[in-house]
Amino acid sequence: YVAFNPRFADRLVPAFDELFEGGFFVGFKVLSSYWQIRVDDSGYDPMLSYADEHGLPILFHTWDGNWDSPRMLTGAARKYPNARFLLGHSGGGTAGRLEAIELARAYPNVYLEFCGSFTSDYPWDKTFAQVGFDRVVFGSDGGGAHDQAWELGHLLSQPVPDDALRPVLGGTMKRLLGC
């Protein structure tokens, strides 16, 4: 992912075509709480427009807080229907998870991401029932602060049929990337 920080838009935006033409980068990543720029700030508009124009995924670090709560993405999800909104950590805590579910149910371009699956006590089988298996992607933070084996074990131990997890384990992401 290309990490998009609006503070560096003057350098990043002109490089978008070059960054995405080689096939190495597949989308954007936004860490609003790290940068302390709200996820609904207009500074993200050039990235959102580009993602919409090219059907790219945007992995948003989401949490139920003041910088990146899922509900803050409502306007963007509506305005940019061809961009693919991946809600990292599925909103974080329980309040954020419920917001993420509501957003995904309202907009077909919004997906939940499984990383940090332990941050909410809201049951994942209920989440799957509300948004569908094809609207959740597996994530692990790539060896960062989360144990990938634990995340995978948590997903595979959900009280759902094993075959139902195929979209979560890669099918949906392959579709989003056009593979």
DSSP secondary structure letters along 132-170: -GGGEE---GGGSSS-HHHHHHHHHTSSS-GGGGTIIII
Structure tokens at 43: 């500074």
User: How far is Cα 106 from Cα 119, in angstroms, rounded to an integer?
Assistant: 23
The three-class DSSP label of residue 84 is strand
Tell me the sheet residues that pair with 57.
84
Beta carbons within 10 angstroms of residue 36's beta carbon: 8
Q: What is the pTM of this model?
A: 0.96
- Contact between 90 and 97 under an 8 Å Cβ cutoff? The reply is yes
pLDDT value at residue 142: 67
pLDDT given for residue 144 in this prediction:
65
Query: What pairing do the DSSP bridges indicate for beta strands 2-3 and 110-113?
Result: unpaired
Looking at residue 178, its pLDDT comes to: 87
Mean pLDDT by 10 residues, the chain (179 residues): 97 98 95 96 98 98 94 98 97 97 98 92 97 95 76 95 97 93
Q: What is the DSSP letter of 87?
A: E
Q: Can you say whether the dihedral through the CA atoms of 82, 155, 105, 87 is positive or negative?
A: negative
| Residue owning tokens 């099918």 | 171
Is residue 115 packed enough to be buried (19+ CB in 10 Å), middle (13-18) or exposed (0-12)?
buried
Exposed, middle or buried: residue 45 (CB in 10 Å: 0-12, 13-18, 19+)?
middle
Find, among 41, 87, 110, 32, the residue nearest to 65 by Cα.
Answer: 32
Rg of the chain on CA atoms, in Å:
15
| pLDDT (0 to 100) of residue 143 | 62
